């Protein structure tokens, strides 16, 4: 007859493997989404450029920077847009400031910058949730993990140990990106 502890360990192992598999799938989907968003933006830019060239005024660009055309306004405010401009996370590069990120992402970076400044180690998503005054429940923790993983994928954060996040090398405080 198997022991109760042994049975519990088996169930825990199965559940952990399922969680790991779902995390991997979520990461894959996030990467695929980022690529699709990038392609979508490139096509939207291409269409706007063609619209400008084919405009009745002959494609004059003298006043297009001052007053956006009606077609551009429709593109920017279309209700079916998949993502808002501020919810996207650009790839970090030298000189890029935190202001390009939404408030949620800035809050994560600030927490990790404060932690680094105080000489403390990395933060887990559970610790971040508690630090932000959130209920430390799976839904909140996983939402933070998704954001943190996105920041890692874009070069803003580093994850040298699974689930433990720090600022990436070169990413500075809120005022600067170097």
Strand partners, 164: 161
SS3 state of residue 81: coil
Selected residue with higher pLDDT from 79 and 92: 92
Among 107, 104, 89, CA closest to 154: 89
| Angstrom distance (rounded) from CA 74 to CA 84 | 14
Strands 164-167 and 157-161: antiparallel
Q: How confident is the model at residue 68 (pLDDT cuts 50, 70, 90)?
A: very low
To the nearest whole percent, how much of the chain has pLDDT over 70? Answer: 79
| Angstrom distance (rounded) from CA 52 to CA 61 | 8
Q: How confident is the model at residue 59 (pLDDT cuts 50, 70, 90)?
A: low
Question: Are 51 and 65 a contacting pair, CB within 8 Å?
Answer: no
Residue 150: the pLDDT is 92
Among 160, 89, 151, CA closest to 121: 160
Q: Which residues contact 121 (CB under 8 A, 6 or more apart)?
A: 115, 164, 166
């Amino acid at each position: 007859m198997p022991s109760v502890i042994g049975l519990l360990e088996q169930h825990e192992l199965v559940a952990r493997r399922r969680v790991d598999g779902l995390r991997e799938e979520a990461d894959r989907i996030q990467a695929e989404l980022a690529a699709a968003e990038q392609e979508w933006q490139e096509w939207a830019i291409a269409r706007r450029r063609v619209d400008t060239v084919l405009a009745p005024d002959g494609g004059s660009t003298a006043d297009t920077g001052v007053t956006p055309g009606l077609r551009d306004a429709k593109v920017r405010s279309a209700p079916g847009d998949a993502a808002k401009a501020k919810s996207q996370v650009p790839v970090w590069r030298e000189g890029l400031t935190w202001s390009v990120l939404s408030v949620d992402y800035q809050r994560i970076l600030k927490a990790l910058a404060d932690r680094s400044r105080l000489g403390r180690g990395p933060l887990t998503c559970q610790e971040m949730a508690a630090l932000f005054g959130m209920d430390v429940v799976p839904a909140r923790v996983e939402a933070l993990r998704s954001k943190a993983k996105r920041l890692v994928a874009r070069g803003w954060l580093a994850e040298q140990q699974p689930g433990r996040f720090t600022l990436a090398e070169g990413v500075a405080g809120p005022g600067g990106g170097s």
